[in-house]
Amino acid sequence: MWTRFAAGPFGGPQYARAVAFPSARSVRPAYEVIFTASASNMTHVVVDAVSGNVLYRQSLTANDAFGDGASTARTTPATSNPGGLVFLYYPGAPASPSQVVKPFTGNATASPAGWLNPPVNGVFTTQGNNADDHENWQGTRPEPNPFRPTSANGRFLFTFVNNWGNTNCAANSYQQDVSQATTGSPVSPTCSCGRPSPARSSPRAWTVTTTWRSSSTSTPTA
Helices (H) and strands (E) in the chain, counts: 2, 12
Which pLDDT value is given to residue 215? 33
Which pLDDT value is given to residue 217? 33
Q: Burial level of 220, CB count in 10 A (0-12/13-18/19+)?
A: middle
- Indicate the pTM of the whole model: 0.55
Please answer whether residues 42 and 36 qualify as being in contact, where contact means their C-beta atoms are separated by less than 8 angstroms.
Answer: yes
CA atoms of 160 and 90, how far apart (whole Å): 19
Which pLDDT value is given to residue 31? 95
| Biggest CA-to-CA distance, the chain | 59
pLDDT mean values, one per 10 residues, the chain (222 residues): 88 90 89 88 92 90 55 63 84 78 82 83 84 74 77 91 82 81 60 40 37 36 34
Which pLDDT value is given to residue 220? 35
Which pLDDT value is given to residue 156? 92
Which pLDDT value is given to residue 201? 31
Which pLDDT value is given to residue 210? 47
CA atoms of 187 and 185, how far apart (whole Å): 7
CA atoms of 149 and 156, how far apart (whole Å): 8
Which pLDDT value is given to residue 11? 82
CA atoms of 86 and 48, how far apart (whole Å): 32
Which pLDDT value is given to residue 142? 62
DSSP state of 189: P
